[in-house]
Structure 1
């Protein structure tokens, strides 16, 4: 057999074996710290805690934040800082993002020069955990597919405490087999719920925000009413917490409100953005949700008063202004 042919056959076997190995890595082998490099874009209130869980689970993390100082706590526990989303993706197999607005998502993932997708190798996975437009999630998934990559929209609910405790509700849209493959990573962050094709995770998160918005309005209205009725508002909250009026919002925010603790677990500015996306989707669907519209206006009022960087529990301030009352601070 001619020597050049033997060399060609050897090269083919090596190349074919390499391709099979890559295919196996991409489809069959479970994700572990030893075979999967992770990237993280956005290390704010939520992202920092979520990323830290993955580092503590043994994964190698490369991170990016527009304000590098916000990533310092993650660097202190072993993360590596990158200079752009593109640089993060070029060193990662799976890239997570959780940023502020849909425009930020588009920039960090789809920018042809600095975006993560441009730096991602074939078979790589993008996981956007930002609350964003469902149509943008579909666009990202289509763009990823062109590069033989995958994209999952996986927004979360649970606030800063859920992020810190690893108990977030995760709403995933995209290829179900990829969501299952990512389950070892999601399990470090909370409980993943597969909701359907690309964009469906975002639709669930928007419905979640609609529910939370009206629940928060009810919570703060009940507190103002109890105060005007001469009740001890703390005792009132305890009394209703185990009945039908009990809710996660009451559990997470009732006592924070009484302590006048308005530190953001989730920013008013971001909630206004989320509710605005909800209203835009309602217009597309041709449906009217008056409770959503009212809640959005109340939160816009907070933003107009310069309180957009407070937490969503600051809605009590709007009700206090409307009724010219002030709940007494509590030390409970």
Structure 2
């Protein structure tokens, strides 16, 4: 049985390694990206389309991995990709968008005789490269099963519920990520300011109840001052805005998410929109006039 033809829209930090893994798995693909040059590394292995509508035409599965709700709406609706879906195609939005927009796009896809899944991901660029993304899928079970082999090329998929539920799970993920990055930043700066080696503190905490992927990966990034973007701060800010919008629509107050949002808002306003989201440490350093790093064992306090 021939592999389904996949159209992939959005060849960015996340999309490029995902496309690489899908091509390595043998899927025939058509690619589109607003900045066409980002498709160039794949031109010998995939078809490059000039427009989203051209990319989608004839595809069995359409995957979008775009920056935000406005871009997804523009590409799918304003630039004609939705109207170009063939009957029976499955549209999979792996971007992070508002749950209400996912439900709207699901309805529009149904009008075209196509199917829809919202399937945002967690795991960052490392997970995309390794094919270990956590995929949170909203939609009908039978549709999910049709594309499960594609998802399993990219990571591990969990069916969350109806259309829109995948995006709700991603908001929950990003709330935990944003708040926890803030907590790790504060904890390491507190320890370092008092004279402890932050690298040793991180090592000790990794074996205890405070251990987490954030402490493991982003704690190390903070110590190394490696803020090259895996997930840019501006994207984390966008997700936190969506979290607070969704909370308001449900009559909820989320004070920790609000505080994380405020920190990222200041970080971005201070010129750090494109640092990794672990770079929230930079805003904490700015507020305190203190810096994590530059620690050596010789500088330890002596008894």
- TM-score interval, smaller chain: over 0.9
Aligned to 2:139: 174
Aligned to 1:115: 80
Q: Retained in 2: the 8 A contact 1:62–1:91?
A: no
- Residue-pair matches, total: 296
Quote the offset at 1:108 in angstroms. Answer: 1.2
Aligned to 2:272: 307
Measured against aligned partners, the alpha-carbon deviations of 1:87-140 in whole angstroms (never above 9, x if no partner) come to: 1110311010011110111111122xx322211110011100111010110111
In the alignment, the residues of structure 2 paired with residue 197 and residue 328 of structure 1 have an alpha-carbon distance, to the nearest angstrom, of: 46
Quote the offset at 1:324 in angstroms. Answer: 0.9
Residues 81-90 or 252-261, more deviating:
252-261
In the alignment, the residues of structure 2 paired with residue 52 and residue 216 of structure 1 have an alpha-carbon distance, to the nearest angstrom, of: 29
In the alignment, the residues of structure 1 paired with residue 18 and residue 244 of structure 2 have an alpha-carbon distance, to the nearest angstrom, of: 29
Measured against aligned partners, the alpha-carbon deviations of 1:1-38 in whole angstroms (never above 9, x if no partner) come to: xxxxxxxxxxxxxxxxxxxxxxxxxxxxxxx6x24100
* Structure with greater Cα Rg: 1
Aligned to 1:38: 6
Q: Secondary structure at the match of 1:39?
A: strand
Aligned to 1:22: none
Equivalent residue in structure 2 for 1:88, among 37, 55, 58: 55
Quote the offset at 1:43 in angstroms. Answer: 0.7
In the alignment, the residues of structure 2 paired with residue 178 and residue 124 of structure 1 have an alpha-carbon distance, to the nearest angstrom, of: 10
Measured against aligned partners, the alpha-carbon deviations of 1:37-72 in whole angstroms (never above 9, x if no partner) come to: 001000110011111110000011110111011122
In the alignment, the residues of structure 1 paired with residue 99 and residue 270 of structure 2 have an alpha-carbon distance, to the nearest angstrom, of: 30
Q: Retained in 2: the 8 A contact 1:124–1:149?
A: yes
In the alignment, the residues of structure 2 paired with residue 330 and residue 274 of structure 1 have an alpha-carbon distance, to the nearest angstrom, of: 34
Equivalent residue in structure 1 for 2:207, among 232, 237, 242: 242
In the alignment, the residues of structure 2 paired with residue 35 and residue 326 of structure 1 have an alpha-carbon distance, to the nearest angstrom, of: 52
Aligned to 1:147: 112
Pairwise CA RMSD of aligned residues? 1.3
Aligned to 2:293: 328
Q: Retained in 2: the 8 A contact 1:258–1:330?
A: no
Residues 251-260 or 39-48, more deviating:
251-260
In the alignment, the residues of structure 1 paired with residue 241 and residue 16 of structure 2 have an alpha-carbon distance, to the nearest angstrom, of: 26
In the alignment, the residues of structure 2 paired with residue 125 and residue 329 of structure 1 have an alpha-carbon distance, to the nearest angstrom, of: 52
Q: Retained in 1: the 8 A contact 2:11–2:39?
A: yes
Q: Secondary structure at the match of 2:50?
A: coil
In the alignment, the residues of structure 2 paired with residue 232 and residue 74 of structure 1 have an alpha-carbon distance, to the nearest angstrom, of: 45
For residues 160-239 of structure 1, the aligned pairs below 5 Å read 160-239=125-204
Aligned to 2:23: 55
Q: Secondary structure at the match of 1:216?
A: helix
In the alignment, the residues of structure 1 paired with residue 80 and residue 125 of structure 2 have an alpha-carbon distance, to the nearest angstrom, of: 27
Aligned to 1:4: none
Query: Is 2:220 aligned against 1:255?
Result: yes
Aligned to 2:73: 106
Q: Secondary structure at the match of 1:188?
A: helix
Aligned to 2:41: 73
In the alignment, the residues of structure 2 paired with residue 149 and residue 321 of structure 1 have an alpha-carbon distance, to the nearest angstrom, of: 50
Structure 1 gap ranges (5+):
1-31
Structure 2 gap ranges (5+):
297-303
In the alignment, the residues of structure 2 paired with residue 68 and residue 330 of structure 1 have an alpha-carbon distance, to the nearest angstrom, of: 44
Quote the offset at 1:330 in angstroms. Answer: 7.8
In the alignment, the residues of structure 2 paired with residue 170 and residue 242 of structure 1 have an alpha-carbon distance, to the nearest angstrom, of: 27
Q: Retained in 2: the 8 A contact 1:260–1:329?
A: no
